[in-house]
Amino acid sequence: MKALVYHGPGRKAWEDVPTAAVVADTDAVVRVDVTTICGTDLHILSGDVPAVTDGRILGHEAVGTVESVGSAVRRVAVGDRVLVSCVTSCGSCLFCRQARFGQCLGGGGWILGNTIDGTQAEYVRVPFADNSTYPVPAGVSDEELLMLADILPTGYEVGAVNGRVQPGDVVAVVGSGPVGLSAILCAGLFSPSLIVAIDQADGRLEGAKRFGADVTVNNSREDPVAAVMGLTDGLGVDVAIEAVGVPATFELAAQLIRPGGHVANIGVHGHPAMLHLESLWSRDVTITTGLVDTFSTPTLMKLLRSHHLDVAPFVTHRFDLDDIDQAYDVFARAAETGALKVVLARH
């Protein structure tokens, strides 16, 4: 089969590899019908995720068709159409019993495209298939469902829920890429009074307005701290969500927070960030980090099916799977191309 293989920082190739096969009796092999590229994949290619080694197939999001299953698989059958979650769950360890699947101790967590081969391929092996795939619901397109593999649960859980967004809150989201837009969309489910989007690209800020931001700040032209303080009587925001993964954006999120507020870090960080405790220690600020657990996937699927969530605008570019190099180029130059999510489909 063909797959996108990582060969060290800055190097990848669409090449022939052995076809995915069932290894454990809890596995399923899924034919990938649609997949996408995540900002985390760009972090991997930048060398920010050293656990990913030469020869790894990238990708952790897919919708596809089950081709084969192991002897212990009970909930998934050959021919089923499924969402492949970005997080794999053994279902029985300490953390999985707490619905903290991202911290799975039994061989799961974020493994696809990280410690085992991923979804940017013609086929993918999915461990613990009963716990790590979801049936495709009627009335939802593959493209829409694909947004629930990673970015929507991440924006909801690691952003809005960890940030404890409450009705009437003022929320700032630093970064208006796909995950930042997901955080904006999901924060809106909790009825904040104001959502402020901060980014350096006008195109992405326009997207932030479409996804529910009330105010946008281009921090390449305007001081975001001054702008936010002007909107909040000098107090700062109740919730600041960091959705980029570089030191400057984390430090900015911490500057925006009011006493008693919450900073929710989503971004994948490859370099140290400064924590200014000299100004934060006395302000009753909570800082959370997290890897998505995907406990919210069934809930988000219901909201998607009932049209309470509109995720169609996330998809800005479409490619054949064989054109994945071109797709990476477009996605990596998002500020120029306007790319949010690119969808790669089997032709």
The pLDDT value given to residue 49? 92
The pLDDT mean for the chain works out to: 97
Q: Name the token pair of 237.
A: 């925001």
pLDDT at 335 over 90: no
Strand partners, 299: none
pLDDT at 209 over 90: yes
Q: How far is CA 332 from the centre of its chain?
A: 16
Q: How far apart are CA 316 and CA 338, in angstroms?
A: 8
Average pLDDT over residues 163-176: 98
Q: Write the CB contacts of 101 (distance below 8 Å, at least 6 apart in sequence).
A: 87, 88, 89, 95, 108, 109, 131, 293, 294, 295
153-288: which CATH architecture? 3-Layer(aba) Sandwich (3.40)
pLDDT at 301 over 90: yes
**CATH class of the structural domain 2-150+294-345:** alpha beta
Q: Are 224 and 251 in contact (CB under 8 A)?
A: no
* Domain locations in the chain as residue ranges: 2-150+294-345, 153-288
Average pLDDT over residues 87-112: 98
- CA distances to 63, 108, 150, 170, 184 from 147, rounded to whole Å, are 10, 21, 6, 26, 14
Parallel, antiparallel or unpaired: strands 286-288 and 257-265? parallel
The pLDDT value given to residue 339? 93
pLDDT at 121 over 90: yes
Indicate yes or no: pTM above 0.85: yes
pLDDT in tens, 40-62: 999 999 999 999 999 999 999 99
Q: Are 66 and 30 in contact (CB under 8 A)?
A: yes
The pLDDT value given to residue 347? 82
Q: What's the pLDDT band for 288 if we cut at 50, 70, 90?
A: very high
Q: Are 87 and 292 in contact (CB under 8 A)?
A: yes
The pLDDT value given to residue 270? 87
pLDDT in tens, 219-254: 999 999 999 999 999 999 999 999 999 999 999 999
